[in-house]
Structure 1
Amino acid sequence: MRIAVLLPCYNEELTIGKVIADFQRELPDATIYVYDNNSKDKTAQIAREAGAVVRREIRQGKGNVVRSMFRDIDADVYVMADGDDTYPAEFVHNLMQPVIDDEADMVIGDRHSDGSYGSENKRPFHNFGNHFVKGLINRLFRSGLRDIMTGYRVFNRRFAKTMPVKSEGFEIETEMTLHALDKRFRIVEIPIAYRDRPPGSESKLNTFSDGIRVLKTVFWIFKDYKPLAFFSIIALVLFILGLLVGIPVITEFFASGRIAKMPSAILAVGLMVLATNSLTCGFILDTIVRNHRDEYELRQSDYHG
């Protein structure tokens, strides 16, 4: 069985050597790949000296790195972690087992169940953002996942080779979770411990800009994967606005037989037409998405990776 450990890295010279050594200890037969994303320090040199296969991804962003990893690397089991030593390598066996036993297509390292993420992570807005996005996705897809945005994951070959990576940055974890939920991949969550970065190692995350990018990803996924619900909400808003504008006009007409508020009448009709068009778009796009999902399932059944 070919096992590939994937480590996206950007300026991780303080920790990458230890991370590689930890995974070499736990998985001595695995090939460890470090994709250097334009680091300005000695990350690539240290990783190469530690025995990893080092490659470079010139397009900045973790999503671009993951896209290249999935396309370039052939393996039976893919282990993805970060190069900042926040995910203990000793949990990798627990994460790999469901994939090896063919019980899961993607295994998620759940940081929240044991409470370590909330206590170790010193960025309270990240904790809030994680819970907000988790609640939104769980409600949207009627799932019960506990950790949507963890970077510690294990995939089988089927998932890695058939996932279209669209994100460029740190929203890639959210995209992988959304893709797995929408395409009904088997997901298993395994509790893991989380530790914050060691002193001197700086996070590349930006609370507000990365949070906005994640929310934009959720918004577009909502529109693309759940178009009937998305456009129905828009139609409902437009319908309510049309009623608010149109009720006084209708009341006036029944009382006097005349319409004096002609601009309001035109606006109300326009809002109702837009609401109808939005709902119609939702039904049409929902049919297209269902057909696309059926075609994807057929391609999956023909996949023998």
Structure 2
Amino acid sequence: MQDTIAVLIPCYNEAVTIGKVVDDFKRVLPEADIYVYDNNSSDGTASIARDRGAIVRHESRQGKGNVVRQMFRDIDADYYIMVDGDDTYPAESARDLLAPLMDGSADMTVGDRLSNGSYGEENDRAFHGFGNNLVRWLIKAIYGYGFDDVMTGYRAFTRSFVKTMPVLSTGFQIETEISIHAVDKGWRVVDVPIEYRDRPEGSESKLSTFGDGAKVLMAITSLCKDYRPFVFFGLFALVFFVLGLIVGLPVVYEFFQTSYVTKFPSALLAVGLVCCGMLSITAATILDTVAKAHRKQWELEVYRVMKDQSN
């Protein structure tokens, strides 16, 4: 039997571009099912997509993360392509994204806009490049994996990846969440360079540079706490211990010099800081054990999904 492919297009007010996006993917991937998930659009996006032959569904909870969560729940396929409906990503790269999945060398592929410089040439919005680089650096520092492009909205996945992906984000943090999940769970990731093009005239981005950027940073912090609790709470412990030493060393020095302690407030503060550090280390150890147990259960769930797929 031929492998099934689903193209997933989350949309909010993309009437200017959605028709062309659907047409392009139907031309490049005629065997694929094209799903457009309309997220309360008010400009006729859903009608245009339906007229072009897409399967249109509606998600009432506002936010891209909510849309992606429902798409992953609803759609059954062997391979998935997720792409924005703003016509900034070329449909011609779809087979390049699918190839590593189909030959078994990857579980997720990422449409990389940065390596060839096309994003920098086409996108002139201030701080977007800086934000992408900052998120890439944080993921590299925490998880040890360097993505070429973290915030891209053009990706492809295997069925086992999609059906074991716990989507928690509600908004534009979803790309960061997917990237961190892939690295934390040891999925095989391949970056595929693509040619990026900016939105056509009349099409407007819904991304708030600072508002959504702050949400992305908060998502990284929250996911670090959940996925890497020893690192997260260990940093707090280190800060408390260092501050305790800074405050307490003069007290200890005074005691050795005079056999007296006159700086009682400093002594109490130093003891309190060291105790907070010890509590942080204790919390880090306990939560790290819980996270490892959760990871074991997740691995078993992956085995079950892969077995069901093979049957």
Which of 243-252 and 262-271 deviates more? 243-252
Q: Which residue identity is paired with 1:138? A: K
Asked if 1:3 corresponds to 2:23, the answer is no
Aligned Cα root-mean-square deviation (Å): 1.0
Separation (CA, whole Å) in 2 of partners of 1:20 and 1:299: 34
Q: CA deviation at 1:135?
A: 1.1
Structure 1 Cα separation of the partners of residues 61 and 304 of structure 2: 32
Higher deviation after alignment, 224-233 or 30-39: 224-233
Which residue of the partner structure matches residue 181 of structure 1?
183
1:95-174 pair list within 5 angstroms: 95-174=97-176
| TM-score (normalised: structure 1) | 0.98
Tell me how far 1:145 sits from its aligned partner. Answer: 1.6
What is the deviation of 1:96?
A: 0.7
Paired residue for 1:88?
90
Which stretch shows the higher mean deviation, 239-248 or 170-179? 239-248
The amino acid that maps onto 1:64 is N
- Which segment is superposed worse, 3-12 or 250-259? 250-259
Aligned-residue offset at 1:124: 2.7
Q: Take 1:52 and 1:19, find their aligned partners in 2: how far apart are those partners?
A: 10
Equivalent residue, structure 2, for 1:15: 17
CA distance in 1, matches of 2:16, 2:303: 44
SS of the aligned residue for 2:219 comes to: helix
- Residues 1-305 of structure 1 aligned to structure 2 (within 5 Å): 1-303=3-305, 304=307, 305=309
The percentage of counterpart residues that share the same residue type is: 58
CA-to-partner distance for each residue in 1:204-235, whole Å, 9 max, x for gaps? 00000110000001001111111111111111
1:78-130 CA distance string (max 9 Å, x none):
11101000001000010011111222111111111110011111113010000
Question: Structure 1 residue 32: deviation in Å?
Answer: 0.6
Aligned residue for 1:124, secondary structure, equals coil
Report the alpha carbon displacement of residue 167 of structure 1 after superposing the two structures with TM. 0.1
Cα deviations by residue, 1:28-59 (Å, 9 ceiling, x for unpaired) = 12111111001110101111111111111000
Code of the aligned partner of 1:275: G
* CA deviation vs aligned residue, 1:263-304 (integer Å, no higher than 9, x gap): 111111000001111112111211221222122112212222
Q: Structure 1: give runs of 5+ residues left out of the alignment.
A: none
Provide the aligned length of Structure 1 versus Structure 2.
305
For 2:204, the aligned partner's letter is: E
TM-score by length of 2: 0.96
CA distance in 2, matches of 1:43, 1:287: 47
Distance 1:21 1:158 in 2: 28
Q: Which amino acid aligns with 2:100?
A: P
Task: Give the Cα–Cα distance (whole angstroms) in 2 for the partners of residues 295 and 17 of structure 1.
Answer: 42
1:136 maps to amino acid? L
CA distance in 1, matches of 2:298, 2:70: 22
Q: Structure 1: how far apart are the matches of 2:50 and 2:231?
A: 49
Aligned residue identity for 1:199: E
